[in-house]
Structure 1
Amino acid sequence: MAYESADGSELPLLVFEPAEGTPLAAGIVLFHGGALRAGSANGLVPHCRELASRGIFAVSAGYRLLGQGAVSIDDCVTDVRRAVEHFRRLAASRGLEASRLASGGSSAGAHLALVAAMTAPGTPLTAPGPGVAAVVALNPAGLDLLAFSPELQRSIEQEVRIAAGRAIEYSLIEFVRPGSPLMLIHHGTADEVEPIEHARRFRDAMVQAGNECTLLEYEHAEHGFHYPGHSGHFDDVIDATARFLLNRVATVHE
């Protein structure tokens, strides 16, 4: 399946359905990592397949990458917003209301999902974004960009191809407002891309604003710890995510 990006190109939506006859209680669309320059929707197929086996409607979506259709991170966010809207329509056709839906992803993909969920188009830092009731972030990037040195901020701006001084428009902690979506963050204490202190500070800001934000810390885990393989955390991540979606998101409005 595919959806249409802003430039008219088709981008993948990999759909994973629970077993026939399983009542649907929640749905999630996930966006892959890769620093906006690499990766594909295939990267989170194992996560979607396992979540679908728990009765969750799960979708892994692609987006244009820098140098491959996207001029800047702005284009990536635009694609994520479009993918979420397409996901919402797919979920609605299966009887799932928006109040039972989540977005999320890994690293840069988690950052894009959070930007789209916490802001409205054209109004950064001011308005909550429509679309989903919750976000599941796997080692998200960009939680507190202004905590980095000015030199590193400028390097990040150049990497994602935005003008100098625009880092604040993509620093997630700056988006925190009352009424933000429910959140579950999985983060390793040894993450070398986004320090665990940033995740803790973001969690604290969310809670202080009256929002629900759960941070699950994985001792000594580095960036990308949640994939199947030697880290041994994949099952724990899937279990906690399924519980969050089925026991928290699916029931919050009942």
Structure 2
Amino acid sequence: MPILLQTDVVNGRMPFMVPACRESSMLYQAADGRELPLLVFEPGDGTPPRAGIVLFHGGALREGSADGLAPHCRKLASRGIFAVSAGYRLLGRGAASIDDCIADVRRAVEQFGRLAAVRGLEAPHLASGGSSAGAHLATVAAMTPEASTTAPEPGIAAVVGLNPAGLNLRSFEPEVQRRLEQQVGIAAGRLTEYSLIEFVRPGNPPMQIHHGTHDEVEPIDSVRQFRDAMVRSGNECTLLEYEHAEHGFHYPGNSGHFDEVIDATALFLLDRIATK
């Protein structure tokens, strides 16, 4: 895997190169027992990370891989953040419905928490998030209890959403809702059970959302409605709007916003949940 480098300059000379991040990979056990990838990125100079985040890729639950958010994780690791990009079963490739995807995300978050603990990071210093459908899955897991528990996903203190999907599914026309239900493998009438705005209540984790004003997948108005609902409930929810940006704007080279997104994400994590 490629490793970014940073130069230490002493008296105008460049005596050595220090890796900006260290990379490794491992597997975690999905809810059905199969093994899925975790790509691990941590500060390259050996200093303990100050915060951690696990990210889940987009792709409408049918495409994508953990590699998709590796560039984001590399940059965050170079800022002193323990960053992990996780895969999950996709529809038609191991997952029968969105419920299987959510189950895998919960498993990945648990494994991430164990890896973070080894590096001196406890639950108050950890976040989850992702892009598009991956951001939706991470937020569902963070805002709703697992079937066998009564508390929301343990071990996560904040959420970062990069052009998240599914914030207000009730706003879609009935025929669109039925089509989406078929696409994600759930029974008719269940779509709104996965609408993020329905989960808003006091005590939700702090959230930072990055979204383009010209997003063609999730209209910016739906994101604003979600943000407003969070704030009315007494929660912290910061929406960073990117003028004229479309869906997927946050990837390197797509619109020139990559560094801006990374800067804001790192600041949010280091300001809200970092160890002191």
What's the TM-score, normalizing by structure 2?
A: 0.89
- SS at structure 1 position matched to 2:136: helix
- Paired residue type of 2:59: G
1:164 corresponding residue in structure 2: 188
Superposed displacement of residue 123, structure 1: 7.9
Superposed displacement of residue 24, structure 1: 1.6
1:198 corresponding residue in structure 2: 222
Q: Is the 8 A contact 2:96 2:185 kept in 1?
A: yes
Q: 1:17 aligns with which of 42, 46, 53?
A: 42
Unaligned runs of 5+ in 1: none
2:160 corresponding residue in structure 1: 136
Q: 2:99 aligns with which of 58, 74, 81?
A: 74
Structure 2 Cα separation of the partners of residues 153 and 176 of structure 1: 20
Structure 2 Cα separation of the partners of residues 230 and 237 of structure 1: 12
| Correspondence 1:42 to 2:64 | no
2:113 corresponding residue in structure 1: 88
| Correspondence 1:178 to 2:202 | yes
Q: Is the 8 A contact 1:117 1:131 kept in 2?
A: no
- Paired residue type of 1:2: L
1:227-246 correspondence runs (5 A): 227-246=251-270
RMSD value over aligned CA atoms?
Answer: 1.4
- Paired residue type of 1:89: R
2:123 corresponding residue in structure 1: 98
1:137-156 correspondence runs (5 A): 137-156=161-180
Deviates more, 1:74-83 or 1:115-124: 115-124
- SS at structure 1 position matched to 2:204: coil
Alpha-carbon displacement from aligned partner over 1:41-72 (angstroms, at most 9, x marks no partner): 00000000000000000000000000000000
What's the TM-score, normalizing by structure 1?
A: 0.96
Q: Count matched residues.
A: 251
Alpha-carbon displacement from aligned partner over 1:102-135 (angstroms, at most 9, x marks no partner): 00000000000000000011289x8533220000
2:77 corresponding residue in structure 1: 52
- Fraction of identical pairs, as percent: 77
Structure with greater strand percent: 2
| Correspondence 1:224 to 2:252 | no
- SS at structure 2 position matched to 1:17: strand
1:31 corresponding residue in structure 2: 56
Alpha-carbon displacement from aligned partner over 1:169-195 (angstroms, at most 9, x marks no partner): 100000001000110000000000000
- SS at structure 2 position matched to 1:180: coil
- Paired residue type of 1:15: V
Structure 2 Cα separation of the partners of residues 49 and 214 of structure 1: 24
Structure 1 Cα separation of the partners of residues 125 and 216 of structure 2: 33
Greater RCO, 1 or 2 (C-alpha within 8 Å, sep 6+):
1
Structure 1 Cα separation of the partners of residues 215 and 134 of structure 2: 16
